A and B are shown apart, each in its own frame.
Chain A
Amino acid sequence: MQTADKPYRFPDSHGHFGPYGGVFVAETLIPALDELNAAYEACRNNPAFMAEFEYELKHYVGRPSPIYHAKRWSDSLGGAQIYLKREDLNHTGAHKVNNCIGQALVARYMGKPRVIAETGAGQHGVATATVAARYGMECVVYMGAEDVKRQAANVYRMKLLGATVVPVESGSKTLKDALNEAMRDWVTNIHNTFYIIGTVAGPHPYPMMVRDFQAVIGKECLVQMPEMAGRQPDCVIACVGGGSNAMGIFHPYIDVPEVRLIGVEAYGEGLDSGRHAASLTGGTPGVLHGNRTYLLQSEDGQIIETHSISAGLDYPGVGPEHAWLKDSERAEYVGVTDQEALAAFHDLCHLEGIIPALESSHALAYAAKLAPTLPRDKILLVNLSGRGDKDMHTVAEKSGIQF
């Protein structure tokens, strides 16, 4: 077994998390990444930058997000107590905006007037369009042509916010292809463009930078849990698509060894069905989108299409730091199916009056499995990464309801 160092200090200066991460891009992108690296180092060591980031998180996003004891739900499950970190209460309705604010401030520091982003369901696109409007930047969002059709409401939201949405017709016409296209735009327009990646993937420094911006989630929990519950949780549970909300809540807990970290992937129609999006638990290591990590790929090394009821988890890769936390056994990775996620979605609606995002419902579903196996004095902290308003159509359709 490989063990994570203590204190945990990853990535190394070249962006490696053990064998994962790194900078697997064409030569043409190297100078842009060097420039970004230097700018991000300058920003994160600059107290004025960090103060502005915190100011924006407080006054624009509405942080800190509260922690809520889901008591009725916990009682109905009859075991451990479940606490929810309420990222769904952020402006724009999910954790994504934390990272967008951070990167937009770095873009401004670098003097880049134009930001681009990739998006799957449209959540990261909406968050990017939002901060671009807030800071007066031009914004172009790449979105797979299939996703543009499926997510009409979010496409309209982005347009309302002044962004240009470009449908991507190449490959499988989904999130991974949107990421490819955003990279191509970036390499062509490096002089005036900043690429805001939406998760802890991509070439170094993105996995580290996005994690650092999202780590505000876990840092708040470290303070809030003792206030709420008198101690730190026994388990921290988060869904894993690219892995940003999970890294955000895990990272500050990595050096707290008694806290179990559990990442929940999308098993879709079941891990054995082949129709899932579980890169860590169902994939193998490889190289995609600038880093080495676990991927869903064919025997020939072609990236394969994924399936999940939740568009935000529908990605064939995963952030390289999760690959490392898996191999080093600091975090555990599990999965739940579409059906299990839907059941947790409905339970939270009925018992707590909270409509969770389908992505977050995966984390909830695993908590619902784990809680009854544990005594009542155990504490599970679930990252409720977003709200479910965007998922009304999907859930209604599953229930046979047409608007």
Chain B
Amino acid sequence: MSRIQSVFQSLRASGRRALIPFITAGDPAPELTVPLMHALVDGGADIIELGVPFSDPMADGPTIQRASERALRNGMSLRKVLAQVADFRTRNADTPVVLMGYANPIEAMGVERFVFAASEAGVDGVLIVDYPPEECKTFAATLKASGLDPIFLLAPTSTEQRIRDVAQIGSGYIYYVSLKGVTGSGALDFNDVAARLPQIRHGVGMPVGVGFGIRDAESARRIGEVADAVVIGSRIIEEIENSPRDQAVARVKAFVEGVRGALDQIQGAPR
């Protein structure tokens, strides 16, 4: 069983939701990434999504774009992200790390080399935003062969056929994008998520995380009523942006704790 699967299994056994925060590797500074990762875990994160910076983050809103730009100015690269994960692993053997990014840095490294290096570093899952299932059959198979989970997105507009395609090729969990648009935009529609999620969970036979547009403990709790996992990205990046350097780690931890507390108020399995 993969590290991601066992996290979901033990959460299910205790009736809890997974909290999945997102940060961009190298933002605000490369030396803060590993401390931030540990702070996320200390604050109550179950899985960490670690953004791999890219020059052209087409699916991201302004907040994550800025994080990506800061990270690149700090000299980040895919290689350095993998080194950070390996560093994180020296003190944490349990919390799954999912890399989230775009296809080009991976293709530049070479798929085989990337999968080998990611697995060596202790990465658990990979979500490539611009690799829809039809364009990455080999990539997904290579990941799986090394015990890594290929994570895929589903959207409010995804058809039954696409839900089946993703179920076939993906593993670990599904990331349901709760609104139309880019990361960090707009308000999310709880009723729409609540209406769609049972069908999606049934269709994929995997845990379903919901992200895009979750900004505070209250929205996390409401989404947690219906989802297996809650993903929070832009709001955490804002916390980092708005904190003095020396307080970023502590403030991110405090924010995550607040969300954790709200999620743990939820009783029973997702509706």
Contact = CB atoms under 8 A, between A and B. Distances in A.
Interface of A: 14, 22-28, 30-31, 170-172, 176-177, 180, 183-184, 187-188, 190, 284-290, 295, 297-304
Contact of B56 (A171, A285, A299): A171
Interface string B143-163: 000000000111101110010
Contacts, number: 121
Contact of A301 (B58, B62, B108, B182): B108
A30 to B, nearest CB: 6
A286 B104 CA distance: 6
Contact of B158 (A24, A30, A303): A30
Interface residues of B, number: 42
Given A180-B56, A284-B108, 12 more contacts: A28-B59, A30-B132, A180-B57, A187-B182, A188-B181, A188-B185, A190-B180, A286-B108, A287-B130, A295-B104, A300-B77, A303-B55
Nearest to B79: A300
Contacts of A183: 58-59
14 contacts: A24-B130, A25-B58, A26-B132, A28-B180, A30-B158, A31-B159, A170-B69, A183-B58, A184-B59, A187-B59, A188-B185, A188-B186, A284-B108, A285-B107
Interface in B91-136: 102-109, 129-132, 134-135
A301 B101 CA distance: 12
B72 interface: yes
Contacts of B105: 300-302
Contacts of A302: 54-55, 72, 77, 104-105
Given A25-B130, A26-B59, A287-B103, A188 B180 contact: yes
B131 A24 contact: yes
Chain A to chain B: the 5 pairs with minimum beta-carbon distance, closest first: A301-B108, A301-B105, A188-B181, A300-B77, A27-B153
A28 B103 CA distance: 16
Contacts of B256: none
Contact of B182 (A22, A27, A184, A299): A184
A114 to B, nearest CB: 15
Interface in B161-201: 162, 177, 180-182, 185-186
B261 interface: no
A184 B57 CA distance: 10
Contacts of B159: 31
B35 interface: no
Contacts of B132: 23-27, 30
Nearest to A190: B180
Nearest to A300: B77
Contacts of B268: none
B178 to A, nearest CB: 11
A180 B109 CA distance: 23
Contacts of B134: 14, 23
